[in-house]
Amino acid sequence: MTQMNMVQAITDALRLEMRRDPRVVVLGEDVGKVGGVFRVTQGLYDEFGEDRVIDTPLSEGGIIGAAIGMALYGLVPVPEIQFSDFIFPAYDQIVSELAKMRYRSGGEYVSKLVIRTPVGGGIRGGLYHSQSPESLFIHVSGLKVVCPSTPEDAKGLLLSAIRDPDPVLFFEPKRIYRASKGDVPEGDYTVPIGKARIAREGDDVTVLAWGAMLYEAMAAAEQASEQGVEAEIVDLRTLWPVDIDTIVESVKKTGRVVVVHEAPRTCGFGAELVSLVTERAFLHLEAPPVRVTGFDTPFPYTLEMDYLPLAHRILPALLETAKF
């Protein structure tokens, strides 16, 4: 085991897989000599050269379009979109081409690639550097969506994603890029896509969270414990396909569920999670499901900490749901 933050763990995964599989290439804005705006790809250019670590023009549609072409010809590209807020110029390439390639060709062609991009707020990035667009991609058939919360999971899930036969959106919560630290196994290992983990056990209320909000949920759970409420926290890790079995088992135990996410409330992934729980565990629910989310506004700059569903907003939801 080695102590790493999330940036180091992701870099380690990329380096490991590029050494293992010569088909893997990295491309994006400033990913080469600079090492990326967050330095996630630092050192890869020096080791693997400009043919496998490719600096691209500022054109998200071009980056993803080129990556799809590479994948169709047998490479395994890992394109980076510098911030998830900038992914929308590539949205048509992702939903109209990438997600549908296997289906439209009857399985003859696949686009095996991983799109890496930082997501979420908490770094005073304002409205163009703080969004969480996961629900827009979960809605699209043919895509897998991953969002790790710990360095160990970030490395293991990225290795799984690169080896997966389907296209994967790999969302990296930038607020905890360096704040989240932990033991990371050395060498090769994988964390399975589609499997959640119980981050904290409890009997009174189930909390579903991912990314940076996992830590806010954990902080709220510790405060709730002081008032006699024990929350069980499920770290989704993979958003789609979601591990509904683990979620339902937890809800059956607690009878209550609270969903926490940074994205706006309306049509956020929390709404789908509530629907899935209600369909599968309705008779076990002892309180209405609750969502603690961002607001239905553009992401604010000066009011960032009011917008984010931090622990002080999660705690009342836990207490009220547990006592319903």
CB 174 within 8 A of CB 203: no
129 annotated active-site = yes
CB 259 within 8 A of CB 270: yes
Count of CA atoms in the C-beta half-sphere (13 A) of 236: 27
Q: Which of 129, 139, 284, 312 is catalytic?
A: 129
3-class DSSP assignment, residue 322: helix
CB 56 within 8 A of CB 66: yes
CB 77 within 8 A of CB 70: yes
- What's the rounded Cα separation, in Å, for the pair 235 and 295? 22
In single-letter form, the type of residue at position 234 comes to V
3-class DSSP assignment, residue 273: helix
3-class DSSP assignment, residue 75: coil
Q: What are the tokens at 197?
A: 């983990």
Determine if the peptide bond prior to 241 is cis (ω within 30°). Answer: yes
Cα angle 41-164-175, degrees, rounded to a multiple of 5: 40
CB 281 within 8 A of CB 248: yes
By DSSP bridging, strand 205-209 and strand 231-235 are parallel
**Rg value, the chain, Cα:** 19
CB atoms within 10 A of CB 287: 16
Location of structure tokens 């296209």? 167
Residues designated catalytic: 129
